[in-house]
Amino acid sequence: MVSTDLFDLTDKVAVLTGASKGMGKAMAEGLAEHGAKVMISSRKLDQCEAAAKEINEKCGEERVYAVSCNAGYKEQLQALVDATHDKLGLIDILICNAGVNPFYGSMSELPDEAFDKILSTNVKAVHWMCQMVAPDMVEKGAGTITVTASTGAFHPTEVLGAYNISKLADIALVRNLALELGPKGVRVNAICPGLIRTDFARALWDNPEAEKRANEQIPLRRLGVADDFKGIAVYLASEASAYMTGQAITLCGGSHMWS
């Protein structure tokens, strides 16, 4: 039998933002299935608790725990980190998946309030979480940070400019942290989803034209789904990716293979 130790996360402690549903939930499930103890968070505690219960039932034991956290607020992020320390101990794995996009339209019409919210939640909150969690990893001499960016970071758009700007900033943040933390044993990478069939992106895929484009233009001839992110989460958190850091990995069915 071939050993799967490369992907073994037994007793590793993970914390995720934006993980009550969709891609975040799928990534949390993947980590738990491979042995990690996982703290998930999102704004709505009831959704987090329901997700934790579902994953624990699949795993056959309690591996996933829930805390409410609005990633746009530094004090709530600190409370999430503190709760993880209290319940599970020092953190080995961080996945920053929370993101917002309150505006759809031209940059020339973008309100300051919306721009501030996008940058605060999508970029500044990632910076805050890394500041809070990296010391755990430095103390251990090992750890992994994964940030959800987007293939939108690689091209301009007439309607999602501020969101795409925030995701390109995330990639820049990942690269800088990879440089700073690499000598201390901490690896930092970004994942860049294409068009994924989740509630967050519903406005972009829930129409006949988008479905037609997916079936005709995406090399794999389908939209992505949340479960497509279980494997990459485990890979980046495990020894299987021991020599990978500072990368922006696209998961897009091939639609952005030249980005």
Residue 33 in domain: yes
Q: In angstroms, rounded to a whole number, what is the distance separating the alpha carbons of residues 66 and 205?
A: 29
Closest of 75, 96, 123 to residue 115, by C-alpha: 123
**Are the beta carbons of 226 and 198 closer than 8 angstroms?**
yes
Residue 80 in domain: yes
182 pLDDT tier (thresholds 50, 70, 90)? very high
Annotated catalytic residue 163: yes
Residue 210 in domain: no
Number of domains in the chain: 1
- For the chain, state the CA radius of gyration: 18
Residue 128 in domain: yes
Residue 9 in domain: yes
The pLDDT of residue 4 is 74
Q: Answer whether 0.85 is exceeded by the pTM.
A: yes
Residue 219 in domain: no
Which entry of 104, 163, 235, 243 is annotated as an active-site residue? 163
Positive or negative torsion for Cα 171, 173, 176, 178? negative
The pLDDT of residue 259 is 60
Q: What is the CATH number of the domain that holds 172?
A: 3.40.50.720
H or E stretch covering 128: helix 125-140
Residue 23 in domain: yes
Q: What amino acid is encoded at 92 in this protein?
A: D
Range(s) of the domain holding residue 113: 5-196+227-251
Task: Answer yes or no: is pLDDT of 134 > 80.
Answer: yes
- Mean pLDDT value across residues 190-194: 95
The pLDDT of residue 35 is 97
Q: Please provide the distance, in angstroms rounded to a whole number, between the alpha carbons at the two ends of the chain.
A: 38
Q: What percent of the chain has pLDDT over 70?
A: 93
Residue 169 in domain: yes
- Give 214 or 58, the one with higher predicted confidence: 58
